Amino acid sequence: MDSVEQIIAKQAISELSCRYMRGLDRLDRELLMDVFWDDAYCEYGFINGDPKVFIDFALGSLAEHKANHHMIGNTLIEFSDGQAYGEVYFNAYHKVPSGDGWDDVIIAGRYLDRYEERNGEWKFIYRSERVDFSHTRATNNPYMEMAPDSLFGSRQDDAVYDLAARHKSA
């Protein structure tokens, strides 16, 4: 693979992680299924199996959360013997129900991936999550209380899906 092909492949592979994160945050099953090959393997420790097993578990778990926000950090993609391998740092915020209201749970770590190209399209063939740290505390949202008219994110009806709204003008 020459340098230009590697750059194009790296961009396509990087966008897989972005689409994966959007799928989690927006509870978008179709988008999540689309980033994996059907014969992929997901290894998270607490859940291992094919993409459908993982996605069913993840969407079921995240559905009870008030909000999620997954961020991608350092992304290193390397090629070896016709395969692509990735280490992708993440920081994931979860607002989860607790006895007194809501807790903020922050989980940070890395995805260790293998990507495969089939018919010119890259997708995950293996994804594993390695947690490096987590933090939980009671939710404290002074901004949301002080600025209730702000535009907030949501799930499946999030503004990201409304492209027509981005054509507004003054």
> pLDDT-based confidence at 57, cuts 50/70/90?
very high
Q: Which token pair is 136? A: 């939980």
> pLDDT-based confidence at 59, cuts 50/70/90?
very high
Sheet holding 36-43, edge to edge: 48-49, 36-43, 121-138, 101-118, 83-98, 67-80
**Regarding predicted confidence, which is higher, 55 or 156?**
55
84 bridge partner residues: 79, 115
Q: Out of 3.10.450.50, 1.10.490.10, 3.10.20.90, 1.20.1080.10, which CATH number does the structure's domain 3-148 have? A: 3.10.450.50
What is the reported pLDDT for 115?
98
**What is the tens place of the pLDDT at every residue in 79-99?**
998 899 999 999 999 999 998
Enter the pTM of the model.
0.91
Please name the residues in contact with 77: beta carbons below 8 A apart, sequence gap of 6 or more: 9, 10, 13, 14, 84, 85, 86, 115
Q: Is the pLDDT of residue 160 over 80?
A: yes
What is the average pLDDT score of the chain? Answer: 93
**What is the tens place of the pLDDT at every residue in 141-154?**
877 778 888 888 88
> pLDDT-based confidence at 109, cuts 50/70/90?
very high
Task: Report domain extents, the chain.
Answer: 3-148
